[in-house]
């Protein structure tokens, strides 16, 4: 079954993509993972309770409290508005980053700005789909309960245990459908949108036929992913928590010393230091979560390509771990494929095309076939055997042709002439 076989292949593909460790690649992937994984910000919560009370007593002494209540309501309103706007902005960036992550996984390069600008349209459609799905979930979850409460004169007391259990079952089913839809949209529909340049609705239409034709694989995929995420999530939480604790110790010590030494100014500095520490913690957590998120995305991409070859977003990487190339990355940087599969990577600034421009053909930087036009500045004994025409002297005559019959005297004279010529050219 593809859903089971792809578990091991996803490990190989993840290892090939992330190794050898390159600081630039990992930092850019950490930025992307911050937006596309559970490490990001959650949705805003609307505080409950009273936001202010208005008294019936028109006494003058009560007026400041009433004004204070109004000011508190306005402050709360603007605070909630700011939080909502920040959340919407984060959700939009997250939607675009989904396609940035997919581009980074299928290619050998990670260009955040280039991929971001190229996928703004797809990201907007994905953002609107997610937002609409959340609104729909809220409506179909709250509406039945509201209708029942309004239809009952006794309010909550009119709810029977059987009715409550039925409503809870209804909510659980809705939650499962929401989670599955969101996961399939992110893991399978988004790659189809990127590969075939479709919208969300057309992407779902294209994926639906594949999913229904291979429903057993996708059911097994869901079960395995939920189990793996539960286990790996616990381990990742422990590791990230311990790492965050170790990171926080020096910041806490320095913050306390600043408060004790500078009083109010030290408190401000301690707060700024805390903000820096929190940002560093998010960066650390994202770095630690890069291989986890990369693995689960490759697992989904492998399954999608196995169930429908026309929807394969990573054919080169799939072939590398299944006999089409070295599983361990092999000759990185030596071909035209992705990094880790005989391709180049921008973090290394290496390219096989440089040989045509600079004449470097081997790792040592020497080129036995280099002509006199390149003019090396450092002395070398490489040209002791070259004639006046720049050819190899031990087998060439004065016209540049091969001459196996020349004598040793002529050869020694040619070598002497070549050394004089080398001095003129700066070898």
Token pair, residue 132, equals 């609409």
* DSSP symbol at 37: S
CA 119 from chain centre, in angstroms, equals 14
User: Any idea what the Cα angle at residue 185 is, between residues 180 and 186, rounded to 5°?
Assistant: 105
What lies within 8 Å, CB to CB, of 110 at 6+ separation is 24, 25, 28, 29, 32, 104, 346
Domain extents for the chain?
A: 3-44+78-323
**Highest-confidence range of 59-63, 97-101, 161-165, 404-408, by mean pLDDT?**
97-101
Give the whole-angstrom CA distance, residue 228 versus residue 232: 6
When mean pLDDT is compared over 18-32, 310-324, 398-412, the highest value belongs to 18-32
Q: Is the peptide bond before 370 cis (omega within 30 degrees of 0)?
A: no
Nearest-angstrom CA–CA distance, 287 and 247: 14
User: Does residue 277 carry a pLDDT above 90?
Assistant: yes
Q: How many CA atoms lie within 13 A of 28 on its CB side?
A: 22
Q: Report residue 200's pLDDT band, with 50, 70 and 90 as the boundaries.
A: very high
The SS3 of residue 402 is strand
109-137 pLDDT, tens digit each: 899 999 999 999 999 999 999 999 999 99
The position carrying tokens 């490759």 is: 298
Q: Find the helix or strand (DSSP H, E) in which 418 lies.
A: helix 408-425
**Which of 119-123, 218-222, 315-319, 354-358 is predicted least confidently?**
354-358
**d(C-alpha 422, C-alpha 376), whole Å:** 10
Position 253 pLDDT exceeds 70? yes
pLDDT at 354 over 70: no
- Judge whether 91 and 127 are in contact, CB under 8 Å: yes
In this prediction the pTM is 0.67
Instruction: HSE, CB side, 13 Å, CA atoms: give it for residue 342.
Output: 12
Query: What confidence tens digit (pLDDT) does each residue in 359-384 have?
Result: 334 433 434 443 443 333 444 443 44
pLDDT of 95 > 90? The answer is yes
**Mean predicted confidence (pLDDT) in 296-300:** 95
Burial class (CB in 10 A: 0-12, 13-18, 19+), 83: middle
């Amino acid at each position: 079954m593809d859903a089971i076989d792809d578990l091991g292949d996803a490990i190989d593909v993840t290892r090939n993509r992330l190794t050898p460790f390159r600081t630039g690649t990992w930092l850019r992937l950490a930025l992307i993972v911050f937006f596309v994984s559970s490490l990001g910000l959650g949705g805003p919560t609307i505080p409950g309770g009273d936001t202010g009370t208005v008294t019936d007593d028109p006494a003058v002494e009560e007026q400041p409290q009433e004004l204070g209540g109004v000011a508190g309501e306005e402050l709360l309103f603007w605070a909630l508005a700011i939080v909502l706007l920040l959340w919407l902005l984060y959700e939009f960036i997250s939607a675009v980053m989904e396609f940035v992550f997919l581009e980074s996984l299928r290619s050998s390069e990670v260009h955040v700005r280039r991929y971001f600008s190229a996928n703004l349209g797809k990201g907007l459609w994905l953002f609107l789909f997610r937002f609409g799905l959340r609104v729909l979930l809220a409506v179909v979850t709250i509406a039945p309960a509201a209708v029942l409460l309004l239809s009952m004169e006794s309010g909550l007391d009119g709810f029977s245990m059987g009715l409550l259990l039925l409503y809870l079952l209804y909510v659980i089913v809705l939650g499962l459908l929401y989670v599955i839809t969101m996961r399939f949209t992110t893991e399978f529909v988004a790659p189809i949108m990127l590969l075939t340049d479709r919208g969300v609705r057309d992407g779902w239409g294209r994926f639906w036929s594949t999913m229904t034709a291979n429903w057993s694989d996708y059911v097994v995929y869901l079960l395995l992913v939920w189990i793996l995420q539960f286990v790996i999530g616990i381990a990742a939480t422990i590791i990230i928590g311990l790492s965050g604790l170790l990171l926080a110790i020096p910041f806490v010590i320095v913050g306390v010393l600043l408060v004790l030494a500078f009083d109010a100014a030290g408190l401000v500095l301690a707060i700024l230091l805390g903000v820096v520490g929190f940002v560093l913690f998010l960066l650390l957590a994202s770095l630690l979560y890069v291989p986890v998120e990369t693995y689960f995305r490759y697992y989904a991409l492998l399954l999608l390509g196995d169930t429908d070859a026309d929807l394969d977003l990573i054919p080169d990487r799939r072939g590398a771990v299944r006999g089409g190339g070295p599983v361990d990355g092999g000759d990185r940087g030596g071909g035209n494929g992705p990094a880790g599969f005989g391709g180049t990577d921008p973090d290394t600034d290496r390219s096989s095309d440089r040989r045509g421009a600079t004449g470097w053909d081997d790792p040592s930087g020497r080129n036995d076939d280099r002509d006199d036009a390149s003019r090396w500045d450092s002395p070398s004994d490489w040209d002791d055997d070259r004639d006046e025409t720049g050819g190899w002297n031990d087998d060439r005559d004065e016209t540049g042709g091969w001459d196996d019959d020349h004598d040793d005297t002529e050869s020694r004279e040619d070598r002497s002439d070549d050394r004089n010529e080398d001095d003129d050219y700066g070898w």
